[in-house]
Chain A
């Protein structure tokens, strides 16, 4: 009992230590969310309109720059800032959809595996092992070589990968919850397995799920960016930050802004997500520091 109290005190202390909300990362994320919703209205130019007379204008603060093209223009004269603003949709939108789809599947299967145990558990866990051992990007390459590239395919591929991480963690949590008295009582009271999972187990894993979810968004953003860098992400001409880096790749010397700014955008987004994820974890569930 003494140990349990010590442990609890330690967790409370570490939650207090975690300090205030990380203001700058949250501000960046809020701005990006606004951008995702209103990019079409607030972007200074059309992200698609090409103008060859305005190609490769450098950022505004450099000689030859133009204030109305703040971050410069690309090879076909499209405004880089407007494309970055619209590209946030592909990055953040795909990532959030993936976390939702993959997370839901992973949570449900993880709860079933942990609660049912036995053969169901081992089948689901082999699926988890399998999907963790197929390299994500290869799977994406395979899928895209079979189907046409689209945002939905990217979400599908990334969900196929991310569900396993949720399932593994949720199963672990459920394994210990299953032994607790309130589950036994519900069983004695005659609740069905589905009801026990939904009403008694799920609320208890919610914190874990929120923590894992936030911490995985950043990783999913990086994966999505890698896929579009390789040309198997959201198809052109829809701007995505990863494919924008790839487009500028051959012009790193002459037009460095093409690859630099989208990369910084990805870095800032993921960094903000990770700061926020760490903070939420320390608040809700310091035990999960190892996730």
Chain B
């Protein structure tokens, strides 16, 4: 178990480093960063001094190692528009993004897993048909459009729910439903198909022949195994969740990292964009790491490999 954890942790670090290299190189592609940082009236001497101070006269690999060493200490440079360090700026927004992600995951698990199970157990019934249709719709609807429509009806016309902030449960309802639509649909389909396989398996037949009550067979024996493939794809879905959040935060004026990144792009505040990408990637990778550990715990065969 220890070597499994160590190996995964090492892989995580390598991946994070790759992400940071990409982000760093993209920043250099944008031309001379000094023209963004220095005021327009800066002289040649100012440029030269700043170049030396920021290490821009060094070779690229050295610049990267300076950048990486600073990033490891939590120093991601300063925001150009806010004139504040980037790291605390991003971290201030992290909690409300995480809270929205948490609400979305909760909603997904509450609906998608039971619906997938029922759909599989009652295969061919009206419930199954309806659930699959809803899932297909959920996977096909553009989330920003769904968000706009929900916002229009529930928040603007009928004034049932608030929006534009994150203080209070009411604010979570619409964005988390919008974000969950795509993800829940995918998870539901996945649970359904792996439940179908599980219900067909020898251990389910064995449990039934032992006289285990049917509800126990379904919800304990079969579901436990059917959730394994869901866990393998959890990492992929986390990435989709974060991506969707950028658009949804913009639609619902949610004070999270996604909106911060989007606004920073509009104002060309590259250090902030860079900071958001790095922090998001770190969070997604850490979440993946935890899921992997849980997976190893849930399925002993994985640890052995």
Contact = CB atoms under 8 A, between A and B. Distances in A.
B242 interface: yes
B62 interface: no
A218 B140 contact: yes
B109 to A, nearest CB: 18
A267 B242 CA distance: 21
Contacts of A278: 136
Contact of A252 (B14, B136, B152, B182): B152
Contacts of B247: 137, 226, 229-230
Contacts of A222: 140, 142-143, 182
Contact of B149 (A122, A133, A263): A263
Contacts of B145: 245, 259, 262-263, 266-267
A253 B151 CA distance: 12
Interface stretch (A59-67, A123-131, A205-213): A123-131
Interface in A39-71: none
Among B29, B142, B143, B157, find the residue whose CB has the most chain A CB atoms closer than 10 A.
Answer: B142
Contacts of A139: 277
A145 interface: yes
A275 B157 CA distance: 34
Contact of B136 (A126, A141, A274): A274
B239 interface: yes
Contacts of B265: 141-142, 144-145, 232
Interface string A131-164: 0111111110111111100000000000000000
Interface size class of B (residues with CB under 8 A): 35 or more
B246 A218 contact: no
B140 A271 contact: yes
B148 A259 contact: yes
Among B145, B190, B276, find the residue whose CB has the most chain A CB atoms closer than 10 A.
Answer: B145
Contacts of B14: 126
B23 interface: yes
Contacts, number: 150
B241 to A, nearest CB: 9
B285 A129 contact: yes
A249 interface: yes
Interface size class of A (residues with CB under 8 A): 35 or more
B288 interface: yes
B26 A138 contact: no
Contact of B156 (A132, A253, A263): A253
Contacts of B190: 290
B71 interface: no
Interface stretch (B40-48, B169-177, B215-223, B229-237): B229-237
Nearest to A227: B247
Contacts of B274: 142
A200 to B, nearest CB: 26
Interface of B: 11, 14-15, 18-19, 22-23, 26, 29-30, 136-137, 139-145, 148-149, 152, 156-157, 182, 190, 193-194, 200, 229, 233, 235-236, 239, 242-247, 250, 258, 261-262, 265, 268, 270, 273-274, 276-277, 280-281, 284-285, 288
Given A133-B15, A262-B145, 9 more contacts: A130-B22, A133-B288, A137-B247, A138-B273, A230-B250, A245-B142, A260-B149, A273-B140, A290-B233
Interface of A: 10, 122, 126-127, 129-130, 132-139, 141-147, 165, 218, 222-223, 225-226, 229-230, 232, 242, 245-246, 249, 252-253, 259-260, 262-263, 266-267, 270-271, 273-275, 278, 289-290
